[in-house]
Amino acid sequence: MSLLVVGSVAYDSVETPFGKRSNVLGGSALFFSLAAGFFCPVNLVAVVGKDFCKKDIDFLKRKKINLNGLEIAEGKTFRWKGRYSADFNNRETIFTHLNVFENFNPILPEQYKKSGYVFLANIDPDLQLKVLKQISKPRLTACDSMNLWIENKRASLMKVLKVIEIFIVNDSEAKQLTGRSNLIKAGNKMLTMGPKMVVIKKGEHGALVFTKQFKFCSAAYPLENVCDPTGSGDAFAGGFMGYLAMKKSLTKSNFKKAVIYGSILASFNVESFSIERLKKLKQAEINKRFREFKELISF
Ligand code: AMP
């Protein structure tokens, strides 16, 4: 079944302890689509400017990402620049130039209104609500958010959480949203806000899953070389949702495996700058890492 993602497509600039890149492909929906594309067809809804390069459009088409919902608007593509600390634990945003993203008004193409699997990547929660209203009877909906919306759009974010099924959030955002410094308390608190499942991403420390029926705790795939963590949360969400959309049956076992595939896609993503690693990634490498991961965490 196909998977819909709505979010940002950007030209990113990043500085990490291992180097820098300027104006390279990025954006939450882009990292998500590339990761999810290993499991199922992906329908992308986003906006870019007239400056968005044809070679990048051709690349996305080659990756079989459906671009019927990619609007090319008058103006410049969204640009974001970030800089990481030496241990990658802190990221400073140097600039956010919204450009055409400022007036992003996601109108779904008719054929996407019956999407079974939906991921609302990091965009204004009012827009996330607007997208949800356009979709009839989705099988599974999930969303992400960020500190900006937790601070400035809390009421709207709470409305999204009331109707979304899975909330995928990182550890610092979980603490910020709930006012709880303990992640177990934060996870349980978020379950009371509406979602049936909460996934807390802890970066190099793995992920925690909370539902009323079960909890799951996964390590991250241990990596020696981390180059650029940008987009790893979106790559995680892409692997997670892509696997579920491919498997169709929403069992506890599939949810757990989805967390592992999410972690695997995120682990590949951080090995190079921007989308460089995902661009070259082969299905066989994902399968190999899945086997290694299983061996590492089984006892
Ligand atoms: P992550 O590392 O998961 O936080 O995702 C980083 C990606 O999010 C980058 O590729 C940015 O282009 C994109 N991004 C940064 N700020 C925003 C924003 N305010 N809205 C949407 N996307 C953003």
What is the rounded CA–CA span in Å between residue 196 and residue 115? 19
Which domain range does residue 269 map to? 3-297
pTM surpassing 0.95?
Answer: yes
* Angle CA 117–33–247, to nearest 5: 40
Distances (CA, A) of 119 to 76, 85, 181, 205: 25, 30, 27, 24
Ligand 1 lined by 238 (C-beta under 6 Å):
no
Sign of the Cα pseudo-torsion (134, 232, 244, 1, in order) = positive
What pLDDT score was predicted for residue 94?
97
Token pair belonging to 175: 């603490």
Find residue 201's DSSP bridge partners: 170, 207
Q: Calculate how far, in angstroms, residue 212's C-alpha sits from the geometric centre of ligand 1.
A: 30
What pLDDT score was predicted for residue 248?
85
What pLDDT score was predicted for residue 265?
98
Find residue 216's DSSP bridge partners: 209
Residue 80: which region, alpha, beta or left (left: phi > 0; alpha: psi -120 to 50)?
A: beta
What pLDDT score was predicted for residue 1?
75
Number of domains, the chain: 1
Q: Calculate how far, in angstroms, residue 229's C-alpha sits from the geometric centre of ligand 1.
A: 11
Ligand 1 lined by 96 (C-beta under 6 Å):
yes
Q: Could you give the strand order of the β-sheet that contains 10-16, starting from the edge strand earlier in sequence? A: 19-26, 10-16, 79-84, 91-97
Distances (CA, A) of 118 to 61, 69, 213: 20, 14, 23
What pLDDT score was predicted for residue 127?
97
Token pair belonging to 238: 């892409």
CATH number at residue 145: 3.40.1190.20
The residue contributing the CA closest to ligand 1 atom 11 is 27
SS3 41: coil
Ligand 1 lined by 53 (C-beta under 6 Å):
no
pLDDT tens digit at each of 299 positions of the chain: 789 999 999 999 999 999 999 999 999 999 999 999 999 999 999 999 999 999 999 999 999 899 999 999 999 999 999 999 988 888 999 999 999 999 999 999 999 999 999 999 999 999 999 999 999 999 999 999 999 999 999 999 999 999 999 999 999 999 999 999 999 999 999 999 999 999 999 999 999 999 999 999 999 999 999 999 999 999 999 999 999 999 989 999 999 999 999 999 999 999 999 999 999 999 999 999 999 999 999 99
What pLDDT score was predicted for residue 7?
97
Ligand 1 lined by 230 (C-beta under 6 Å):
yes
H or E element: which one contains 58? helix 54-62
Q: Rg (Cα) of the chain, in Å, rounded?
A: 18
